[in-house]
Chains A and B, each alone.
Chain A
Amino acid sequence: MSADRKPLLPYPVTLVIGVLLMVAGMYVSTSVHIAALDALRKQGILLDPGKTVASIGVLIILFPVINAFYVRPLEDAIEARNSQLEKTFTEAETLRSEMTGMKQAYEERLKETEANARAQIQAQIQEAQTLRKSLMDDAASRADALVKKAQEEIAAERDRVLADLRVATVTLALNATEKLLGANIDDEKNRRLIEEFIEKSEVPV
């Protein structure tokens, strides 16, 4: 950046001009008497144009040096600093733009995800409700089947117990009859039974 700045005059020219001004100023200061300055001197104003010119000449001589060793590096540093800051600002702006884009993308994705989540939740709720209904129906049908089976088993058990009871009743009655017959049969009755058998029984041929 500093290389782009060109001095108005080449340095040798300014050096010559400076030396000339310095010599001329010293000469005026030491050799030329200016009456107008006396009045100023009387008034307390110590003005010496020769020295002033010589100082300007020295300044003209030293200015490129100061410019080369101090001003330009300073300008370069400031320029570099500015460039760095601009670069940083640019990067920050870029990052901000990217972040804004990412934020928008994230927001869109978040919205999309929320929508998907809501849809999935609704679907799961519907599926759960369907499953619940199915399970309830299944449980109800199983319960009905169990109740029906239990009723059938109870009826079968009741019938079996009743049948056992009837068989036991028949057995008891017949056993009692058998004992009564055994106790009451005598020779006469037995004889009549035998004779009845002989008379009425049929012999297979």
Chain B
Amino acid sequence: MEHRVASRYAKALYQAVVPQNLLGAVDDDLTAVAALIANDLRFGPFLVNPNIAREEKAAILDRVFGDRITAVTLHFLHLLMNKRREEEIPLIAQEFSRLRREHDHVLLIDVISASELSNEHRQAIARKIQTATGKSVQAQYAVDPALIGGVKVVLDGYEIDGTLSGSLGRLRERLLLDLLKQN
């Protein structure tokens, strides 16, 4: 439900800013605001506190973001406050980023490896994905020692698993399936 609401707001904003060529700027603004909500222990609760008047919230927003984000983004944040949709800002930011990537033909991928990847490997992975999909690649890298060795790529709901833990997991599932079939 919340995702559908966030999707509607994000789509409306997207349709409003594309003609103005502000897609990148608004996306950066929303990403920054969402990051502030996620990281600042006071700003997030302040924004969703129903006991604080809208005017006071608007004044604070103007003071904090007035000279840092575009007028469209600021106006959009005011609109969300008037509609009591402050809690949706992180989801709207995510959805808007997805729309932006779609617009720019950019594919977001998560690359998770057992140890830090070299630049050479990073570029090789991005190049392989880019060649296969025909889209630009925006990669997010993470390290998970539990993978033991190898690398795993997550894109568009798919997972390409080349890790040792993944292989062991598949082996485990296959063995257990065989055992179940025996029973």
- Give me the interface of A with B, judged by CB distance under 8 Å: 159, 163, 166-167, 170-171, 174, 177-178, 181-182, 185, 187, 189-191, 193-198, 201-205
Once A170-B176, A198-B128, A204-B158 are accepted as A-B contacts, the answer to whether A178 and B149 lie under 8 Å apart by CB is no
Q: Verify B179–A197 contact, CB threshold 8 A.
A: no
Once A181-B164, A194-B150, A198-B125 are accepted as A-B contacts, the answer to whether A167 and B183 lie under 8 Å apart by CB is no
Number of interface residues of B (CB under 8 A): 33
Closest chain B residue to A156, Cβ basis: B183
Segment at the interface with A among B15-23, B26-34, B114-122: B114-122
**CB-contact partner of B148 in A181, A187, A195, under 8 A:** A181
Q: In this assembly, does B151 line the interface, its C-beta being within 8 Å of a C-beta of chain A?
A: yes
Least CB distance, A194 to chain B, in whole angstroms: 5
A-B contact count (CB 8 A): 79
Closest chain B residue to A203, Cβ basis: B132
Q: A166 to chain B: which residues have CB within 8 Å?
A: 179, 182
Most buried by B among A163, A190, A196, A204: A190
* 24 A-B pairs with C-beta separation under 8 A: A159-B183, A163-B180, A170-B172, A174-B168, A174-B171, A178-B164, A181-B148, A181-B149, A185-B149, A190-B115, A193-B163, A193-B164, A194-B151, A194-B162, A195-B124, A197-B162, A198-B125, A198-B128, A201-B162, A203-B129, A203-B132, A204-B155, A204-B158, A205-B133
Q: In this assembly, does B160 line the interface, its C-beta being within 8 Å of a C-beta of chain A?
A: yes
Q: Verify A198–B115 contact, CB threshold 8 A.
A: no
Least CB distance, A197 to chain B, in whole angstroms: 3
